[in-house]
Each structure stands twice: as C-alpha cells, then as structure tokens.
Amino acid sequence: MLNYFIMPKKKSPISCDWSALGRIRRGEKTEQGLKGIKTHAKNKSRLYKRRGKFRWQGIKIEKYKQSRGGWADIARQTLIGNHRETSKFHVRYFEIAPKGHSSFEAHKHEHVVICVRGKGKVTVGRKSHTMNFMDTLYIAPHTPHQLRNPFKNPFGFLCIVNAKRDKPIILA
C-alpha cells in the first residue's frame, strides 16, 4: 500500500527530512486534492521522452545566452522551467562542443552540475577539475566558475538552478 507524506499543519521550515512529515492514507483527500497540497491550474505533470542523443520531445534547443561574448560553442535545452511549472528550480541540459566554453562568471545563486555526456573541465574559484560521466559539482554562491571542453567529444551536463536567480557578473 502506498503512503503519501505531507507537511504538518503547523508552520515549519521546508525540509526533505521525512521524519518531519505527517502521513495520509491512500484515498484521503480534501477540497484541495491531496491534503495540504495546493495545485496550480496550468501546471500539469508531464513526461519529456528522449528523442535521439541528448534531445527531448517538445524541448527546443536555445542559445546559451542572448548576447554574444565570453563564451563559444554551447547550447541549452531547458527541461524543467519554461513550461508553466511552478517549481522553485530549473533543470537545463547544456552541451559544449569541442573547444567550446561557458562564460567565466559569478553570481548569488548556486548551481548543481551533473556530467551526463563525455567529459569536460571546470574552473571553480582557483581550482580546475576534470568532470567525467555522473560526476556531480556543487557551485556555491559568489564563486567564479567556467566550464570548458578541450576534448574531442561533446561535453553534456545537467544544470540545476534556482528558478528565481540573479544575472551573472562576467569576469573575463
């Protein structure tokens, strides 16, 4: 039997700590749907099916940034965040072609970067690392960073960021 977890009625900090959550039984609902969970009329669950290598059905390839400068040969696909979701995060897939790179930048928001294709180099602060398949990188707020691909194959990674975020300061 499935059990659903909800936040208790008292106000508490948002947490993924399951011990802080209450339980409801299957079928127990209120006028809001599942107890304590509000729904958004235009926000619907959806599945984006993989379409070929590192493409998803219904997801457009976008420019890395709207203005040119400080970056080369990089494309973006926004998987979660451009389709009326109400999540507090966005999930994007970036792909850097051989010899390409992101801008060297810093900002207030944080990133999580997960390598899912090829390998790449990342500069975080004053350190440089090679990222391989499924390596995961956390970039703290205000940390200068850049992702590069000096290798022969594409470097693809998922990037998870806050939905509301500041504009980066380009450092070089």
| Residues belonging to the active site | 159
**What letter represents residue 146's amino acid?**
Q
How far, CA to CA in Å, does 48 sit from each of 57, 94, 143, 154? 6, 16, 32, 22
Q: Report long-range pairs for 31-39 (Cβ below 8 Å, ≥24 apart).
A: 34/4, 34/6, 35/6, 36/6, 36/7, 36/9, 37/6
Q: Show the CA angle centred on residue 21, arms to residues 19 and 23, nearest 5°.
A: 110
Beta bridge partner(s), residue 74: 96
| Cβ atoms of residues 116 and 53 within 8 Å | no
